[in-house]
Amino acid sequence: MEKKRILSGMRPSGRLHLGNYAGALENWVKLQNDYDCYYFVADWHALTTNPLAAFDVEENTIQMVIDWLSAGIKPDLPLFVQSRVKEHAELHLLFSMLITKERLERNPTLKEQIRDLHKDTIIYGHLGYPVLQAADILMYKANLVPVGEDQLSHVEITREIARKFNQLYGEVFPEPQPKLTTFSRLPGLDGRKMGKSNNNFILISDPPEEIHKKVRTAITDPQKVRRGDPGHPDICNVFKYHQKFNPDETEQIRTDCESGALGCVACKQRAAEKIADYFAPFREKRAHFESHPDDVRDIINEGTKKAKAVAQQTMDDVHKAMKMG
């Protein structure tokens, strides 16, 4: 049986952190065996919230793709960069005629982002970025789109655009389904969402000393002040790291934390060791790619070529259906 096609993208945010890993990349690695996967760098999307991000895109793209490869993403997959497949821009333009501004304004993810940005106006490209996302997805006629909950509304918009196109011009696009990524949300060192702007992150490429240094600053159970105090693992950020990266010892750590036998210093030390061990093979692969930057460029060039071939085919279908272009 032919494998179902998956498409997913990440904005070029440079080196990835543990939150990116647990929230998306780990899942991408698993999916590549069972599906026909297309993974891409959504670099035009990075401009929707900051046009000056353009100047950082090249370096951030390379660093992020090195992290993908270090995590075990296969180099022969179509790994590509959105801005190098210009067909996305044309399809985005055509799709922009198939959806109303009011529909885009109802997007709950957008409302949240506007609230976070503390702005009462919105850039046209930001309002329309789900339409660009629809072009990304439908260009490859993807069946499944692995996304976090915040992106569900965008897959829904994609489905609506596919239906509208098919209804007006003829059947070209399948309606993709979201594939929800289920994961234990990894908090940042301070308990907020892990993110670059919150400065509470551990990178998957951090060297062991750096991981130890960062984990030492993590906020644990505020009521556990000294060793001997009984702790509450369920409200402790470091315990979440144990659950993810040290599953075998998690129950023992819970018992010893709750009884007071295990202090936070030792507990953090152990968590840092386990995180460092987990990512050791990643660091090794990164070192290889860092000393062979042309390999990374070749992988992206090859992937982009494969993606472009599919995109051109889709645009042929689109032009035929529309009797235009």
- Residues interacting with ligand TRP, by CB under 6 A? 7-9, 11, 42, 45, 133, 136-137, 145, 147, 151
> Smallest gap, in angstroms, from Cβ of residue 11 to ligand TRP?
5
The residue among 238 and 310 lying less far from ligand TRP, judged by its C-beta, is 310
Give the Cα separation of 14 and 184 in Å (integer). 23
The residue among 257 and 307 lying less far from ligand TRP, judged by its C-beta, is 307
The residue among 147 and 253 lying less far from ligand TRP, judged by its C-beta, is 147
Match 């036998």 to its residue by tokens.
261
> Smallest gap, in angstroms, from Cβ of residue 249 to ligand TRP?
33
> Smallest gap, in angstroms, from Cβ of residue 42 to ligand TRP?
4
> Smallest gap, in angstroms, from Cβ of residue 10 to ligand TRP?
6
Q: Residue 201: in which H helix or E strand, if any?
A: none
> Smallest gap, in angstroms, from Cβ of residue 162 to ligand TRP?
13
Helices 264-278 and 208-216, packing angle to 10 deg? 150
Q: Residue 144: in which H helix or E strand, if any?
A: strand 144-147
The residue among 41 and 69 lying less far from ligand TRP, judged by its C-beta, is 41
Closest listed residue to residue 156, CA positions, set 193, 83, 106, 122: 106
Give the Cα separation of 259 and 200 in Å (integer). 29
Give the Cα separation of 324 and 2 in Å (integer). 32
The residue among 129 and 245 lying less far from ligand TRP, judged by its C-beta, is 129
| The Cα angle at residue 30 between residues 134 and 61, in degrees rounded to 5 | 55
Give the Cα separation of 324 and 97 in Å (integer). 15
> Smallest gap, in angstroms, from Cβ of residue 173 to ligand TRP?
14
AA identity, residue 275: I
The residue among 59 and 150 lying less far from ligand TRP, judged by its C-beta, is 150
Give the Cα separation of 9 and 12 in Å (integer). 9
AA identity, residue 281: P
> Smallest gap, in angstroms, from Cβ of residue 197 to ligand TRP?
14
- The answer to whether the CB of 204 falls within 8 A of the CB of 67 is yes
Torsion, Cα of 10, 307, 81, 180 (10° steps):
0
> Smallest gap, in angstroms, from Cβ of residue 172 to ligand TRP?
18
The residue among 3 and 320 lying less far from ligand TRP, judged by its C-beta, is 3
Give the Cα separation of 38 and 146 in Å (integer). 11
Strand order in the sheet with 177-180: 79-81, 36-41, 5-10, 144-147, 177-180
The residue among 45 and 254 lying less far from ligand TRP, judged by its C-beta, is 45
